[in-house]
Amino acid sequence: MVNSTDVFVIGGGPAGLAAAIAARQQGFRVVVADGAKPPIDKACGEALMPDAITALARLGVAVPAAEACLLRGVRFLSSGLSAEAVFPSGCCGLAIRRTTLHRIMTERAAGLGVDLLWQSVVTGISGEEVQLGKRAIRARWIVGADGVNSRVRRWANLDAHSRTDLRYAYRRHYRVPPWTDRMEIYWGERSQGYVTAVSDEQVCVAVASHDAELRLEESLPAFPELNARLRGAEAASAERGSVSANRRLKRVWRGNAALIGDASGTVDAITVEGLGLSFSQAVVLATCLRSGSLAGYQAAHRRLALRPLLMARLMLTLDNFPGIQQRTLQVFRKRPEVFRRLLALHVGTLSPFHLALDGLTLGWGLLTA
Ligand SMILES: Cc1cc2nc3c(=O)[nH]c(=O)nc-3n(C[C@H](O)[C@H](O)[C@H](O)COP(=O)(O)OP(=O)(O)OC[C@H]3O[C@@H](n4cnc5c(N)ncnc54)[C@H](O)[C@@H]3O)c2cc1C
């Protein structure tokens, strides 16, 4: 094991691996430590939006066609109503098992010469030192990529954040032939279900709600169309739980330490943007490290999170008001171009100017539906 490095990344999930790859691309010596053993799994909807794929490509990470399924758009379903929109022309998303994505990113990092320490829990940081139990490694820069309950955030005194709207989520895979190449979002009264086809024989189902006690199987009757499709299907993985939240930190760096991914604040799972956001953060973070100063990271990080946070707020408003949810779907059915443009805005191919325009159309539609 090395005694010193340029960049030490704490956490080898998608954000930590992305940070390590981007820092290697800038020529730094990089060490990543993660307490778990790869490939690392996690409760996730397992969808990558088109902007996430673009960000992955900047990291030189290519997902082989055989390892993922194409996603061509998004479909909302609620109480017998459905509306869908395809991604802008030339754009596709991907659905990929979390463990597969982890393996592919690990291979890319290893191929670039990142030093990967698995089953290695970081126990503290102090100045330019990272502690792994009794061992210490010196690092010029320390990156906290240790997830939503980040300890690095606490150690670096970066815990101050905006109010958090916490939700609880569960995920499981079912052995059933996929029926769609859209990511499906089912709206129930107290929860949403997200469905992605991750292979030609399995779908990933995730459910999120404000109720910590509401487990996945229990929540399925709230989505009758989905429940019917899954009836009799064998579960292909164990149920995994996680929290989901919109949380913005006051600061994402201090001294020589910076945070990335869920450690640096989160956007609700409903946006399907957590992974893509962390890949984009990795690129700007590495550029800041190259410049020798983290000062620009704060503003760039905030800019990147703006669009997903805005979309999360819009979608969670629908969650709180089932009546508006229904009317929104009716507007989307009547005016499919509004849904298509909102989706284009969501994946970053349209300017916020269009949000104002479509916001007005949607607002008028809601009043008159
Ligand atoms: C239900 C749900 C569905 C979601 N669906 C999607 C989706 O479809 N698409 C999308 O883009 N995003 C989705 N997200 C968001 C996405 O899952 C997260 O944004 C993403 O996992 C963040 O990755 P990360 O690397 O920051 O954190 P994590 O994946 O949590 O990785 C953190 C890593 O740090 C390690 N670690 C922690 N502490 C230490 C320590 N002290 N020492 C060493 N290692 C440590 C852990 O072992 C872990 O491997 C979803 C989230 C939820 C909750």
**What confidence category does residue 325 fall into, taking pLDDT thresholds of 50, 70 and 90?**
confident
Question: Under CATH, which number does the domain 165-243 receive?
Answer: 3.30.9.100
pLDDT in tens, 255-292: 999 999 999 999 888 889 999 999 999 999 999 999 99
Cβ–Cβ contacts within 10 Å for residue 8, how many?
A: 32
Nearest residue (by CA) to ligand 1, atom 9, is: 272
Question: Which of the four pLDDT bands, split at 50, 70 and 90, describes residue 155?
Answer: very high
Residue 171 Cα to ligand 1 middle (Å): 13
Q: What is the pLDDT of residue 154?
A: 97
- Report the pLDDT value the prediction gives residue 215, as an integer from 0 to 100: 94
Q: Is 147 in the pocket of ligand 1 (CB under 6 A)?
A: yes
Burial 238-273 (b: 16+ CB within 10 A, else e): eebebbbbbbbbebbbeebbbbbbbbbbbbbbbbbb
Q: How confident is the model at residue 355 (pLDDT cuts 50, 70, 90)?
A: low
d(CA 81, CA 60): 40
Cis amide leading into 39 (omega within 30):
yes
Å from CA of 231 to ligand 1 middle? 30
- 317 vs 178 pLDDT, higher one: 178
Q: What is the pLDDT of residues 38-74, one digit of tens each?
A: 999 999 999 999 999 999 999 999 999 999 999 999 9
Examine the pLDDT at 369 and tell me if it is beyond 60: no
CB of 316 shorter than 6 A to ligand 1: no
In terms of residues, how long is the chain? 369
Q: What value does the mean pLDDT take over residues 302-324?
A: 84
Tokens of 164: 């958090």
Answer yes or no: is the C-beta of 296 below 6 A from any ligand 1 atom.
no
CATH class of 4-42+97-161+249-312: alpha beta
- pLDDT at residue 310, rounded to an integer: 84
SS3 of the chain:
CCCEEEEEEECCCHHHHHHHHHHHHCCCCEEEECCCCCCCCCCCCCEECHHHHHHHHHCCCCCCHHHCEEECEEEEEECCEEEEEECCCCCCEEECCHHHHHHHHHHHHHHHCCEEECCCCCCEEECCEEEECCEEEEEEEEEECCCCCCHHHHHCCCCCECCCEEEEEEEEEEECCCCCCEEEEEECCCEEEEEEEEECCEEEEEEEECCCCCCHHHHHHHCHHHHHHHCCCEECCCCEEEEEEEEEECCCEECCEEECHHHHEECCHHHCCHHHHHHHHHHHHHHHHHHCCCHHHHHHHHHHHHHHHHHHHHHHHHHHCHHHHHHHHHHHHHCHHHHHHHHHHHCCCCCHHHHHHHHHHHHHHHHHC
Of the listed ranges 169-178, 254-263, 347-356, the least confidently predicted one is 347-356
How much is the pLDDT for 335? 87
Beta bridge partners of 72: none
- Count Cα neighbours of 15 within 13 Å in the Cβ-side half-sphere: 27
Say yes or no: CB of residue 101 within 6 Å of ligand 1: no
Per-residue pLDDT, averaged over 337-353, amounts to 79
The residue assigned the tokens 């502690």 is 131
Test site for ligand 1: of 32, 149, 262, 285, most ligand atoms within 8 A of the Cβ = 262
Comparison of pLDDT for 297 and 307, the residue scoring more: 297
11 lines ligand 1 (CB under 6 A): yes
pLDDT of 342 strictly over 90: no
Q: Contact 274/309 with Cβ under 8 angstroms? A: no
Residue 240 Cβ inside 6 Å of ligand 1? The answer reads no
Q: Are 236 and 195 in contact (CB under 8 A)?
A: no
The predicted pLDDT at position 65 comes to: 93
Q: Is this structure's pTM higher than 0.75?
A: yes
Q: What is the predicted pLDDT for the residue at 339?
A: 87
Segment 174-198 mean pLDDT = 94
- Per the CB < 8 A criterion, the answer to whether 66 and 228 are in contact is no
Per-residue pLDDT tens digits for 75-118:
999 888 999 999 988 889 999 999 999 999 999 999 999 999 99
Strand partners, 207: 170, 193
Work out the mean pLDDT of the chain and round it to a whole number: 92
CA–CA distance, 115 with 109 (Å, rounded to integer) = 8
* pLDDT of res. 134: 94
Q: What is the pLDDT of residue 165?
A: 79
* The pLDDT of residue 179 is above 60: yes
| pLDDT value for 314 | 81
What are residue 10's DSSP bridge partners? 33, 144
Q: 145 C-alpha vs ligand 1 centroid, how far in Å?
A: 9
Hey, where are the domains in the chain? Answer: 4-42+97-161+249-312, 165-243, 319-368
Please, what's the b/e burial string for 289-306 (b: 16 or more CB within 10 A of its CB; e: otherwise)?
A: beeeebeebbebbeebbe
Which residue type, as a one-letter code, is found at position 121?
V
User: Distance, CA 41 to ligand 1 centroid (Å)?
Assistant: 9
Greater model confidence, 138 or 2: 138
CB of residue 34 inside a 6 A radius of ligand 1:
yes
Q: Kindly report the protein residue whose alpha carbon is nearest to atom 4 of ligand 1.
A: 44
The C-alpha torsion from 322 through 328 and 334 to 336, rounded to 10°, is -130
Reply yes or no on whether the pLDDT at 32 is more than 90.
yes
Looking only at the bridges linking them, the beta strands covering 257-259 and 135-144 are parallel
> Which atom of ligand 1 approaches the CA of 196 most closely?
8
Q: What is the pLDDT of residue 269?
A: 87
- The whole-number pLDDT of residue 153 equals 97
| Rounded distance from Cα 122 to ligand 1 centre (Å) | 17
Determine the distance separating the centroid of ligand 1 and the alpha carbon of 78, expressed in angstroms: 28
Q: Is the per-residue pLDDT at 358 higher than 80? A: no
Sorting pLDDT into bands at 50, 70 and 90, what band is 338? confident
Spacing, Cα 16 to ligand 1 middle (Å): 9
Q: How far is CA 307 from CA 49, 185, 186, 325, 346, in A?
A: 13, 19, 22, 21, 7
Give the residue, out of 32, 42, 259, with the most ligand 1 atoms within 8 A of its beta carbon, to mutate for a pocket test: 42
The larger pLDDT score, comparing residue 54 to residue 189, is at 54
pLDDT at 353: 61
Q: Is 308 in the pocket of ligand 1 (CB under 6 A)?
A: no
Separation of CA 353 and ligand 1 centre (Å)? 32
CA of 291 to the centre of ligand 1 (A): 28
pLDDT category at 147 given cuts 50, 70, 90 is very high
